[in-house]
Amino acid sequence: MIAYVSGKLIEKKPTAALVEVQGIGYRVLIPTSTFEMLPGVGEAIKLYTHYHVREDAHTLFGFAAEAERATFEVMLGVSGVGPKLALAALSAMRPAELRDRVLDGDAAFLTSIPGVGRKTAERLIIELRDRLASLDLLEAGASPLSGGSDARAAARADALAALESLGLSRAVGERSLRKVLRDNPGLQSADELVRLALRER
């Protein structure tokens, strides 16, 4: 198992990072919460990883915090939950919030995660309640983007790309982001834009 990758950040997108480790480039799929915490291109980076193997694909998933990886791996243990859905959940909310929603039995809120219907939400609550309750989910806070309209525009573009990768159509993503930006005029964090936009669905 690859526990982490540590090297130089070569490229970053809302859904993936390219990390060079001793001349080898690792493409790592990430949630938007991790994207928000990535350093600048060319800087040193360390991502906690999960190596997922299927017959048709070997995929490396990366996380800025161990709490994210732990939650991701616990979710994979739920019947019918694959990496895409687990990644979508961590893009929609932080591990501590996901745990709280599960412990509260908030199935209605969990259906805001792309790919999660009522039955899946209820199954998540039943199967994750005990597992998430025992996890230590202390997390480092995400740093919002700084700057003016340029940073806001960049955050909006990154958020839209992330929403599309999570299965939303461009039109639905645009509509959700417009409402979020209208209700939160000072918001410049792509991570928070995605989280709030997913709740608008």
Please state the pTM of the whole predicted model.
0.67
Torsion of CA 76, 80, 86, 91, to 10 degrees: -170
Res 140 pLDDT > 50: no
Note whether residue 30 is domain-resident: yes
Last-in-domain residue among 87, 104, 133: 133
| Average pLDDT for the chain | 85
Give me the pLDDT at residue 89, please.
93
Domain identity same for 42 and 86: no
Give me the pLDDT at residue 42, please.
95
Note whether residue 143 is domain-resident: no
Domain identity same for 45 and 78: no
Note whether residue 27 is domain-resident: yes
Count of the separate structural domains present in the chain: 3
In the beta sheet, which residues pair with residue 51? 60
Look up the CATH number of the domain holding residue 171. 1.10.8
Torsions phi, psi of 113, nearest 5? -75, 125
For 75-128, the pLDDT digits (tens) are 998 888 899 999 999 998 888 888 888 888 899 999 999 889 999 999 999 999
| CA angle at 163 for the pair 158 and 168, rounded to the nearest 5° | 150
> How many CB atoms are closer than 10 A to CB 11?
12
Domain identity same for 72 and 57: no
Cα–Cα distance between 90 and 176 in angstroms, integer?
Answer: 18
**Runs of H (alpha helix) within the chain:** 32-36, 66-76, 83-92, 95-103, 107-110, 118-133, 149-165, 170-183, 190-199
Quick one: pLDDT band at residue 5, thresholds 50, 70, 90? very high
- Worst-scoring range by mean pLDDT, 17-31, 105-119, 143-157, 161-175? 143-157
Domain identity same for 54 and 17: yes
Last-in-domain residue among 63, 88, 107: 63
| Residue 16 to residues 43, 46, 109, 135, Cα–Cα distance (Å) | 16, 14, 26, 26
Quick one: pLDDT band at residue 149, thresholds 50, 70, 90? low
For 17-59, the pLDDT digits (tens) are 999 999 999 999 999 989 989 999 999 999 999 999 888 889 9
Quick one: pLDDT band at residue 150, thresholds 50, 70, 90? low
Q: Which domain holds residue 107?
A: 67-133
Give me the pLDDT at residue 148, please.
44
Look up the CATH number of the domain holding residue 116. 1.10.150.20
Look up the CATH number of the domain holding residue 8. 2.40.50.140
Domain identity same for 59 and 71: no
Torsion of CA 67, 105, 124, 130, to 10 degrees: 60
Res 142 pLDDT > 50: no
Give me the pLDDT at residue 152, please.
72
Note whether residue 9 is domain-resident: yes
Q: What is the DSSP letter of 141?
A: P
Structure-block tokens of residue 146: 């700084």
Give me the pLDDT at residue 201, please.
63
Give me the pLDDT at residue 84, please.
92
Note whether residue 140 is domain-resident: no
